[in-house]
Structure 1
Amino acid sequence: MEKIRLRDIAEALGLSTATVSNVLNGKDDKVSPATRARVMEAVERSGYLPDRAEVLLGRNPSRMAGLVVNDHPEYSGHPLEDPYNAAFIDRLQKAAVRQGLELLVKTARTWEEAAQFASMWNMVGLVVSGFCDADYVSLKQTLKIPLTACDAFSTEAGFSSVTVKDREGGRLAGMHLKSLGHRRVTCVTTNLICDDLERIQGLRDAGLETDVFMISGDRSEMRRQFGERDFSRDTAVFCVSDRQALELLCILQERGIRVPEDLSVMGFDGIEPGLYAIPPLTTISQDLEAKARLAIESLSAEPAAHPIDVSLTVRKSTGYAKDIL
């Protein structure tokens, strides 16, 4: 691909190269906000961003940190409305303020988009959430600033990670269900890798047998699958996320399947909407305060792995196995 030049951007916008250069170098006090926005949008779209990194990094130290959230198809184009993401961003922003930082947030589908975003601004570091380990590794190899990866499993040197104790959370869930007489649990997941697999392995560590119910990440398809599933032989379902569990509770109510009398349902994450579900959702709660604090603090520390504690939150969606009632 032919290299994009400053002159190309200026000509496409009908501006002088001096105006575009001034915007890119922060000397834009005489440039209108609308023109500046046009330039920045064109720069990001053009792929000229990597050339800006050295210019930006040479300017005065920044007090900005970035967050990139994976715009995964399961969010139906609204990843920042997801209750878990919204709660994490809220705590991350507060943690950034305590460190004297401003937080810039972006959604992205690929690690390349995340790299472009980081290249646009003079950041002290970047927090990335919802991507896979290979993406984190590629991103770090591209960035010139510190990186903190949320829920990474890679042992690759050079970046920090804040990772929930997923397997321990699964074990706590398994011990709870086992104490209620459940011997076999159906596990709901969209994949069998990384954190999802660790959570299911934790159930098995507790001595439970497991069946895996693979569902689609697409919400409408997920609801269809829940609506067609035969739960008559199940006594308990463990969803690897609260979002899946909340969808399941709605479908079960529509189908007249009682929770927990006919079927116990349990989630993972501890998001606030679970408290208001019918019935309130039993879950494994993450310590989001610690997760956010460590994510921000890691940007100014030596790269390290930070495990995040989990805890069992028992509510009314789990009960004794129906075959022992």
Structure 2
Amino acid sequence: MNRVIKLSDVAKAAGVSQGTASNAFNRPEIVRPEVREKVEAAARELGYAGPDPKGRLLRAGKVNAIGVATTETLDYFFADPYARAVMASISAACDERGAGISLISAANDEKLSWNIQSAIVDGFVLFCIEGGERLVELSRERRLPFVALQLDASDETISVIGVDDFEGARTAARHIGALGHRDVAVVSLELVDDRIGPVAPGEVEAAFYSGTRNRIQGYLAGLAEFGVDPVAVPVFETQNNARTVGAALEHFYAEGRRPTALLCMSDRSALIALDWLRQRGLSVPGDVSVIGFDGVAEGEVSEPPLTTVAQPIDVMGRMAAEMILDGIDSPRRERFEVELLVRQSTAAPRTG
């Protein structure tokens, strides 16, 4: 096996000290040209590629970069409009500081653990839509600062940025209820890993993902104010993609059933629903009203423009990045208000 060539080997071959050899690579302006040329010639002859940038950054104690981590596959950062919006605000904050970003994801837990342990970053922003507890555990093992987005945790030692999911969902349901809708269905995010399908009432309380549980409970509470029996509201668990949202809509519209309103737990699922309904000749909001949750830019230009519960995504993403770049002296808990944006995808149900 070939021996790894070290800086000390180059220094010995060039007849200089290791400090001088190091300066020839890292601070060439302070090394005499003839000495620098001798070191570079020795490096070429030995096949030495130069100092390890990872080691140099670690010795400096700060790398001026943040890691953004998710338990989803890497395409989540590009396919999901909420993730894209958050990443845009994180990127803007990093651009202003001249800082870098490392995207961290994995298809399984072993790879996720390795990716977090090996990332050259000053800290982590955690997308905790799903798998948040595992991301927190791995970040703690790394002993670097981290802030969790959308993690509903009672642990006061964790820095968290998010919104009141229950109140946001109740706001959406109240809007639908006030318009006169009573036959309403919920397109849900995951309650537990790797499952889709109809959700029984007792499964909501046992949900692993508290954000999903809180939103369902908010929807049901808001509808109950208008006399809608929570047990009668169909809920379908999806993975927030076209295949599973389509399965939810097929379920809701089976056997001639036609809900007059769909409460979608994300703007992504609401936008998928708009396409599904249009392809089947169903009018929005004429035949059915659709409301999302997030407030992404794509909802402004959808057909029709999407009514949604908007989170302050830009503020949240920027704050998360700045917390890591500035350092976190003590845990922070930041919860923001949501705003109902009423557009053309919701209206009163047809009569007669």
* CA deviation profile, 1:63-116 (whole Å, cap 9, x unmatched): 1111123325xx8x4542322211111101112334553322233335654553
Q: Is the CA contact (8 Å cut-off) linking 1:65 and 1:126 kept in structure 2?
A: yes
1:80 to 78, 81, 91: 78
The structural deviation recorded for 1:198 is 1.4
1:213 aligned residue: 236
User: 2: CA distance between counterparts of 1:107 and 1:159?
Assistant: 21
1:252 pairs with 2:240: no
The structural deviation recorded for 1:232 is 3.6
Q: TM-score, normalised by structure 1?
A: 0.76
Identity value in percent: 27
Runs of 5+ consecutive residues of structure 1 not aligned to the other structure? 1-10, 41-51
User: 1: CA distance between counterparts of 2:337 and 2:319?
Assistant: 12
1:66 aligned residue: 67
Q: Is the CA contact (8 Å cut-off) linking 2:116 and 2:138 kept in structure 1?
A: no
Figure out how many residues of one structure are paired with residues of the other and give that number. Answer: 289
Would the alpha carbon gap of residues 223 and 207 (structure 1) be closer, same or farther in structure 2, given more than 3 Å must change? Answer: closer
The structural deviation recorded for 1:207 is 3.8
User: 2: CA distance between counterparts of 1:197 and 1:253?
Assistant: 29
User: 1: CA distance between counterparts of 2:57 and 2:133?
Assistant: 27
1:266 pairs with 2:291: yes
User: 2: CA distance between counterparts of 1:170 and 1:141?
Assistant: 31
Q: Is the CA contact (8 Å cut-off) linking 1:140 and 1:158 kept in structure 2?
A: no
The structural deviation recorded for 1:218 is 5.1
1:194 to 210, 221, 226: 210
SS at match of 1:154: coil
Runs of 5+ consecutive residues of structure 2 not aligned to the other structure? 11-21, 27-39, 192-208
2:153 aligned residue: 154
Question: Is the radius of gyration larger for structure 1 or structure 2?
Answer: 2
Q: Which amino acid aligns with 1:109?
A: A
The structural deviation recorded for 1:222 is 3.4
Q: Is the CA contact (8 Å cut-off) linking 2:124 and 2:139 kept in structure 1?
A: no
Q: TM-score, normalised by structure 2?
A: 0.71
2:245 aligned residue: 222
1:132 pairs with 2:131: yes
Equivalent residues in 2 for 1:141-180 (5 A)? 141-180=140-179
User: 1: CA distance between counterparts of 2:211 and 2:3?
Assistant: 49
SS at match of 2:185: strand
Q: Which amino acid aligns with 2:310?
A: S
The structural deviation recorded for 1:15 is 6.1
Q: Which has the higher strand share?
A: 1
RMSD of aligned residue pairs (Cα, Å)? 3.3
2:35 aligned residue: none
Would the alpha carbon gap of residues 81 and 137 (structure 1) be closer, same or farther in structure 2, given more than 3 Å must change? Answer: closer
The structural deviation recorded for 1:128 is 1.4
SS at match of 1:289: helix
